[in-house]
Amino acid sequence: MYVDELPKIPKIHGYKLRRGIPVAKKLTIGMYHKKWRFHRDLAESSVFVYGKTKRSATFPGPTIEALQGVATHVEWRNHLPKKHILPWDPTVPTAIPKNGGVPTVVHLHAGVTEPESDGSSFAWFTAGFKETGPYWSRSTYRYLNMQRPGNLWYHDHALGLTRQNLLAGLVGPYVIRNHTFERPMNLPCGSEFDRHLIIADRSFNTDGSIYMNSTGNDPTVHPQWQPEYFGDTITVNGKAWPFMNVQRRKYRFRVISTSNARYFNVRLSNGMNFTVVGSDASYLPKPVATESFILSPAETFDVVVDFSSVGVNTTEIEVTNDAPYPYPDGTPTSIPNNRIMKFIVEPKKSPCPPDTSTVPANLIADSDRYPSVVEAAKQATLRRYIVMYEYWSNITGEVTHLYINGKRLEDPVSETPKLGSTEIWEVINLTPDDHPLHLHLVAFQALKIQKLTDLQDFTNCMTQTNDAEKCNVDRHLPTTTSTANNNTKNIVEYEKTWKNIVKIETGSMTTVVVKFDMVENNGPFPFDATAEPGYVYHCHILDHEDNSMIRPFKLLK
């Protein structure tokens, strides 16, 4: 543990300068099969990774640095071989090319992106665009970057192969910056002090290859699929349990989990606080200090850690994880999956150069505040019940699949919000685990979490009718809004912003406010968001998404 240094992820600029003015740029980024060393003492692993060239491709892929208001166009090229490096399963809804090859399609997570460039699971393509899925329409994707500065990431989204393609390495960070908006915050900056931490759990075979189960939990139903992939090795920026040398000063870390299914409860071993300044693609209005934060698959926390307050005798601080898997009631963590990485604090007391960065009391000027979620909820014109189900085999008792609203992905679209509207989504989780809910295109925010009472009765009724109103959902909600008995929970302070992931707790109903417009100014999308092939919303546990906790949504004019 802690023998490899944390790699710096290479950067690619998504804009160019013409006479000093930033203008749109077209990038070509390939997907390559190559070898990657995750640990000094482990043989090289076969990976599928993004890069400008095979030589420069990395796990995770390069950070795309974009500017707000300047478009980035990316031609995503698949150079992958005929056969996948990981097992797959044709019995879950899957892209199956007739002539072999690895289907891929890229989604920019948290991107306000036109439907044609959003990476529909059905818009997949194989090497050289030899075969394409039914919704494929273009080889170059258009990212307008009109949204506020924030943290995004790109990853594969191919039908039924998302869990394998990400596990193989098809992930990478994407940042939108706006110096006018961000400079007044004076947060730690520059490539030394503003770093990405891309967390991914993996298991490895003794020959160095990435381990993925080749047999399902109930192979009579799905020969390979299992409900969750958990790796025992925690990698950060492509190294297992790396270390990072830090000076006694403030650092900004953009922490993104690209794990398939593992939740993390991230802590520092000396009990020091993280100061959370943003989550997913939005800043918080004010920084929030916390000793730990729960990081689900696909979620982002943008934090500042101040090493200047570290005692002189402390030279090493571990980043630890104590989230049971599956979350929240699964196996407790233990060595090695309870360790993430280590900071080695330089003995020298004064940093060089001196640390002039700050964490201001207000991150966003009042005039630039995001709409309040309470006010947004009052504007809502529709309430929908979105229900998460898990199904078991009567014979083996094993989980066979998961659905939203009891429907398959290929069933007709039922969520058709009006462009520019705000809706309340009451998201009900009838499964024993938590699920990170993700909607493409839009940002959303949880208002409250209510524990359901008489859960078994309610679940029985819902499994038969899938109608929350007929099943008297109100009678299964806490009778008091008091948070004293823990049946109604407020949202934790460090998540009170417009999110791209909301963690939906087991046995609960989470009230989520969804704004179908540009969240920062209630303005229209800068493209036709009603165009084909529309969008999807899904659980971001990739093994759930693939089988098949995912549904379409289509915006109407």
Binding site for Cu ion (CB under 5 A): 435, 539, 541, 544
Q: How far is the CB of 337 from Cu ion (least distance, A)?
A: 20
Beta bridge partners of 415: 553
Residue 269 carries which side chain, given as an amino acid letter?
A: S
262 or 435: CB nearest Cu ion: 435
- Residue (of 151, 160, 234) closest to 200 by Cα position: 234
Task: Give the rounded distance of the alpha carbon of 459 from its chain centre.
Answer: 28
Rounded-to-integer distance, Cα 472 and Cα 478, Å? 13
How many Cα neighbours within 13 Å face the side chain of 135? 22
Length of the chain: 557
126 or 259: CB nearest Cu ion: 259
342 or 435: CB nearest Cu ion: 435
Instruction: Please give, one letter per residue, the 3-state secondary structure of 130-151.
Output: CCECCCCCCCEEEECCCCCCEE
Q: How far is the CB of 121 from Cu ion (least distance, A)?
A: 16
476 or 544: CB nearest Cu ion: 544
79 or 435: CB nearest Cu ion: 435
- Can you say whether the dihedral through the CA atoms of 471, 475, 476, 477 is positive or negative? positive
Q: How far is the CB of 168 from Cu ion (least distance, A)?
A: 21
Burial 367-399 (b: 16+ CB within 10 A, else e): eeebbebeebbeeeeeebbbbbbbeeeeeeebb
The first and second tokens of residue 324, run together, are 């049971």
495 or 520: CB nearest Cu ion: 495
Q: How far is the CB of 538 from Cu ion (least distance, A)?
A: 8
Backbone angles phi, psi at 429, to 5 degrees: -110, 105
Which residue minimizes CB distance to Cu ion? 539
Contact 501, 298 (CB under 8 A): yes
282 or 431: CB nearest Cu ion: 431
Give all strands (DSSP E) within 113-168, no chain letters: 140-143, 150-156
Rounded-to-integer distance, Cα 325 and Cα 348, Å? 39
268 or 541: CB nearest Cu ion: 541
Rounded-to-integer distance, Cα 32 and Cα 428, Å? 40
Rounded-to-integer distance, Cα 413 and Cα 392, Å? 25
Q: How far is the CB of 539 from Cu ion (least distance, A)?
A: 3
496 or 538: CB nearest Cu ion: 538
Q: How far is the CB of 435 from Cu ion (least distance, A)?
A: 3
Contact 255, 277 (CB under 8 A): no
Q: How far is the CB of 451 from Cu ion (least distance, A)?
A: 19
129 or 392: CB nearest Cu ion: 392
Q: How far is the CB of 541 from Cu ion (least distance, A)?
A: 4
Q: How far is the CB of 294 from Cu ion (least distance, A)?
A: 15
Q: How far is the CB of 413 from Cu ion (least distance, A)?
A: 20
For residue 309, is the peptide bond before it cis, meaning its omega torsion is within 30 degrees of 0?
no
Instruction: Please give, one letter per residue, the 3-state secondary structure of 174-226.
Output: EEEECHHHHHHHCCCCHHHHEEEEEEEEEEECCCCCEECCCCCCCCCCCCCCC
